[in-house]
Amino acid sequence: MAKTSWSDELFRYVVLAVASSAVVLFAIYLVELVEGSAPTIPEGWYFLYGSTFNINNLYGVYPEIWGSMVTSAIALAIGVPVSVGVAVFLSEVSPLRLRSTLSFFVEMLAAVPSVVYGLWGLIVLAPALSTKIYPVVGRYIGFIPIFSCPTTFAPCFYYGLSVMTAGLILALMIIPIVAAISRDALLAVPASQREAAYALGATKSEVIRMSVISYARQGIIAAVFLGFARAFGETMAVTFVIGNEGIVSTTLFKPGYTLASLIATEFSTASSGTEVSALVEAGLVLLLVSFTASFVGRLLIRRFIKTKESASLL
């Protein structure tokens, strides 16, 4: 065995301690959240299906879970196709020099603070959407329930601060991460896979479809899961634009609430121990869902890298 000096030993323990702090911190969060929500956990499943928060001391976050799910779904429905398009351009179409510049800007989008997205959403995006875009959408495809008019009186009023606006902001916010991971997955496709398609007489776009995207599928799905985790947990930007009302409505043009924005807006004014406990429990639900999505995403990335390696060892 190689001789190790005491400074090497020390260094090893220091980095080990730093690295394991991630695991320890996660465990601490979990314990704290469970402990903090101990007063309301015994209330049972009402928390998940009940739709009143702090009325008669009853706490249910069904509208918030619904809101988190729906806004994340909108974010994925719009953000994923755009991200995959960006990734395909970066890895397959763009000239080499443009690739690094564009990649840099896409990644910089991730560095924009979410409060900036929120302010921009509130001041610029929401008014523009509610007066110019949503009425048009409503007029043409309003017969589809999710795009229907949110008010019963005429003329119809489309809320700027709505589930839809929150979903759109989230779509913008997940594009950097989904595009970057998808791009890496596409770049990891071996040249031999592209050649296989070219040799069959495929054109460039056919090569991308039949060979490259198909091969990178798992990596792209992983990117989607990580994008979901990001959207589901995003707090600040959503709080600005969703309207913060705990209601469940079919149309996406009405205000809503998410678990994260509930915690952000209610916590400072929480008046009782039970309410604090309920908010902590909401945090627990949030953490568990985000963690699961992140975990599945990472797992898929790891499996993708593994199959990629075994394929190249053939």
Partner 1 sequence: MEQDVKLDVVDLSAWYGKKQALSGVSFPIRSGEVTAIIGPSGCGKSTLIRCLNRMHELVTDATVEGKVMLDGTDIYGRDLNPADIRRRIGMVFQKPNPFPNMSVRDNVVAGLRLGGVRDKKRLDEVAKTCLEQVHLWDEVKDELKKSGASLSGGQQQRLCIARALAVQPEVLLMDEPCSALDPIATAKIEELIISLKNELNYTIVIVTHNMQQAARVADRTAFMYLGKLIEFDETVTIFGNPKEQLTERYVTGKFG
Interface pick for partner 1 out of 217, 302, 303, 306 (rule CB under 8 A): 217
Report the residue number, 46 or 198, with the smaller CB distance to partner 1: 198
CA dist., res. 84 & res. 213, Å (int):
9
- Residue 305 in the binding site for partner 1 (CB under 8 A): no
- Residue 192 in the binding site for partner 1 (CB under 8 A): yes
Q: From the CB of 198, what's the least distance to partner 1, in Å?
A: 6
CA dist., res. 73 & res. 138, Å (int):
20
Report the residue number, 114 or 211, with the smaller CB distance to partner 1: 211
- Residue 97 in the binding site for partner 1 (CB under 8 A): no
Report the residue number, 196 or 270, with the smaller CB distance to partner 1: 196
- Residue 89 in the binding site for partner 1 (CB under 8 A): no
- Residue 206 in the binding site for partner 1 (CB under 8 A): yes
Q: Is the dihedral of CA 239, 283, 174, 50 positive or negative?
A: negative
- Residue 203 in the binding site for partner 1 (CB under 8 A): yes
Q: From the CB of 219, what's the least distance to partner 1, in Å?
A: 12
Residue whose C-alpha is closest to residue 274's, from 53, 30, 29 = 53
Chain residues 242-301 in contact with partner 1, contact rule CB under 8 A: none
Interface pick for partner 1 out of 215, 225, 232, 253 (rule CB under 8 A): 215
CA dist., res. 86 & res. 36, Å (int):
42
Q: From the CB of 179, what's the least distance to partner 1, in Å?
A: 22
The number of residues that bind partner 1 (CB under 8 A) is 24
Q: Residue 17 to residues 23, 31, 32, 63, 158: CA-CA distances in angstroms?
A: 10, 20, 21, 41, 53
The number of C-alpha atoms within 13 Å of 237 and in the hemisphere containing its C-beta is 28
- Residue 96 in the binding site for partner 1 (CB under 8 A): yes
Q: From the CB of 189, what's the least distance to partner 1, in Å?
A: 10
CA dist., res. 88 & res. 102, Å (int):
12
Interface pick for partner 1 out of 133, 202, 264, 276 (rule CB under 8 A): 202
- Residue 82 in the binding site for partner 1 (CB under 8 A): no
- Residue 201 in the binding site for partner 1 (CB under 8 A): yes
Interface pick for partner 1 out of 46, 157, 198, 291 (rule CB under 8 A): 198
Interface pick for partner 1 out of 9, 32, 195, 309 (rule CB under 8 A): 195
Per CB under 8 A, residues contacting partner 1 are 96, 190, 192-203, 206, 210-211, 214-215, 217, 307, 311-312, 314
